[in-house]
Amino acid sequence: MTQDIGTAFDHPEARAAETADARPRDRISLRDHIVEIEIGAFQAERGRRQRVCFNIVVEVRPGTGPVADDVDRILSYDLITEAIRLEINAGRINLLETLAERIAERILAAPQAMRVFVRVEKLDRGPGALGVEIMRSRDEVAADTRADAPMPQPLVVFLSNDAIAAPHLAGWIDQVAATGQPVIFCVGLPDGPLPQSQSPAAQRRIDLLAIEQNAWVLAGRDARCVVVGTRTEIDWAMKNGQSIVWAPGKLVLDTTGAPGSVRDPLGLCAWFAGLVAARRIVVIGDEAPGIDADFHPVENDVIAGI
């Protein structure tokens, strides 16, 4: 009995270990994540915010290959905090039980998630913490119970080398940021000669590295331009409305059907825009005659030279 009580009040990690079956599973966890929100069924709780603490453990399906230090091959911790944020922002909730249930459903929508433990506690309703803890498994939640939030459709902005070096760069970034859409900047090869290789595969990697160097040149000119290369980072930035610069190496090398040559900068930009379901491409600089690629923006296909 004493052991049962100890496990009941321990972190959900202990509950997960205590109830584990013979199938090996990895776990990721979030501990003591505190957010101020308005929640509660009592009148005294309406119109005021209170601290709510989240402790969550997710059991994930073992991978089929080596992780290889690749963020796109694992279940990201951001999935947990994103599930909390989305459910809090979806509307006012009366019960902790409802909030915990919805968070669990959203996490279990991820294909790697097999079982989730969610503990939610109010910290300001008395001298101690008042809370609820639930455990849900993939078998208990229908696959379509709760669809994930739609991914925002970003504005993809190609910057020529002249635009990167221009004194008006900050003003142009201000203009695209003012649209209120997530913005992803793309750049091409830098000016000047590049190392040459007789191997097309080697040359492709050399060119990708050169484009990424150019991306870092842009990042050095404006602190708002954060260079990212993984799909996980790109998706997180889009969901959070951040402006980023695409480093193409990883996605191009990992994606079937990616361009064989990356020496057509606008073609590569158009391929990427289709991959992230961009709403529109804007070209800043003197390389704006058009884009010869299979890209069909949602709103329009205007290519603007600024």
Q: For residue range 153-189, what is the model confidence (pLDDT) as tens digits? A: 888 999 999 889 988 888 888 888 888 888 999 999 9
pLDDT, position 44: 77
For 85-136, write each residue's pLDDT tens digit: 888 876 678 788 888 998 998 888 887 888 899 999 999 888 888 899 988 8
pLDDT, position 149: 54
What is the dihedral angle through the alpha carbons of 64, 68, 69, 72, rounded to the nearest 10 degrees? -50
Task: Catalogue all structural domains in the chain, each as residue range(s) with its CATH number.
Answer: 10-140 (3.30.1130.10), 155-305 (3.40.1160.10)
Is residue 265 very low, low, confident or very high in pLDDT (cuts 50, 70, 90)?
confident
Higher pLDDT, 146 or 79: 79
Q: Is 154 within 8 Å of 299 (Cβ atoms)? A: no
216 burial type by CB count under 10 A (0-12 exposed, 13-18 middle, 19+ buried): middle
Q: Is 57 within 8 Å of 28 (Cβ atoms)? A: yes
Residues 268 and 215: their CA atoms lie apart, in Å, by: 14
User: Is it the case that residue 55 has pLDDT exceeding 60?
Assistant: yes
- Candidates 28, 54, 57; CA nearest to 39 is 54
- Token pair of 253 as six digits: 């090398």
Helix axes 96-108 and 78-89, enclosed angle (nearest 10): 130
Residue 223 CA, distance from chain mean position:
20
